[in-house]
Amino acid sequence: MMALRTARTIAAAGMLAMLAGCASHAYQPQYLNGNVTLKEALSLPAATTLVRVRLLDDNSQADAPARLLAEQTLEKPKGFPLAFSLCYDKHAIQAGGSYSLQAQVYVDGELRLQNSSRVNAFSGQPTQLQVELIK
Whether 126 shows a pLDDT value over 70: the answer reads no
Whether 65 shows a pLDDT value over 90: the answer reads no
> pLDDT for 67-92, tens place per residue?
999 999 999 999 999 999 999 999 99
Strand partners, 107: 49, 110
For residues 78, 53, 118, 65, the Cα torsion angle rounded to the nearest 10 degrees is -150
Task: Give the residue among 55, 123, 122 at the shortest CA–CA distance from 88.
Answer: 55
Which is more confidently placed, 4 or 106?
106
pTM: 0.77
